[in-house]
Chains A and B, each alone.
Chain A
Amino acid sequence: MSEIAFYLLAGATVAAASGVLFLRNPVHCALSLVMALFLIAVGYIALDAHLVAALQIIVYAGAVMVLFLFVIMLLNLQPDPAEAAHPLLKLGAAGAAIAFAAIVWTVVRDWSAAAPPPATLAADFGTTVVVSRNLFTEHMVAFELTSLLLLVSVVGAVVLARRDRD
């Protein structure tokens, strides 16, 4: 990936993510987040994570965000003109965000200098076969436990969202 392509991608991703923070209408926020998720999927492709990129679009942009949009429309949320945090809170959030990014920048710079040189990747790195083999052998127990997690969350969601509870 060339420098220019990366900076275009990064700029677009940050702009889309900022939309989640600064747009008033929750539907616009959700669509902005979908855009950010798509652009992150592009980043995954640049990082040789092809299966992860496909799942990002199918699961996140396709399923999770549709759930968000359904709930927003079900509740008929309107842009709330009164919605505004305390100015001091905004200042604090901006300061903390900048400080966090600066700390990570320092850490990554030091780590990058000390870390081993980039590994030479196999040609099939990140393909469905390689990732699935890793998932179904080394992480088998964790994989089975996620099925339990999903079952519990589905039952929990149904119980919580049910109208009559007598």
Chain B
Amino acid sequence: MVGAEHFLLLSAVLFALGAAGVVIRRNVIVMFMSIELMLNAANLAFVAFAQRLGNIDGQTMVFFVMTVAAAEAAVGLAVFLALFRTRETLNVDEIGLLKG
């Protein structure tokens, strides 16, 4: 029988993949997608705990995470548009303006 524990482990693997993606990819948009993957892994953990503990709050929390993800995507992609317009690149290694 598959329980919430299985889904928690799947969520951990997805989060680890997302975190690794942020580290190894150099394209900011792909890094952003990896962050979305991590947020989704957290959502999956919320839903798994909600089902296991019989508490609907976990599912409600997913709405807030989705809202934050949507807001983040809107602002982040606008930043990348402005960045690409001035620097002509989306490679993080070439964007070092704030580096001390």
- CB within 8 Å of B: which residues of A? 1-3, 5-6, 10, 13-14, 17-18, 20-21, 26, 29-30, 33, 36-37, 40, 43-44, 46-49, 51-52, 55-56, 59-60, 63-64, 67-68, 71-72, 74-75, 77, 80, 82-85, 89-90, 92-94, 96-98, 100-101, 104-105, 108-109, 112, 115-116, 118-121, 125-126, 130-131, 134-135, 138-139, 142-143, 146, 149-150, 152-154, 156-158, 160-161, 163
Contact = CB atoms under 8 A, between A and B. Distances in A.
A153 to B, nearest CB: 4
Contacts of B36: 33, 60, 64
Contact of A160 (B34, B40, B68, B81): B81
Interface of B: 1-10, 12-21, 23-27, 29-30, 32-34, 36-37, 40, 43-44, 47-48, 50-57, 59-60, 62-64, 66-75, 77-82, 84-85, 90-91
Contacts of A92: 23
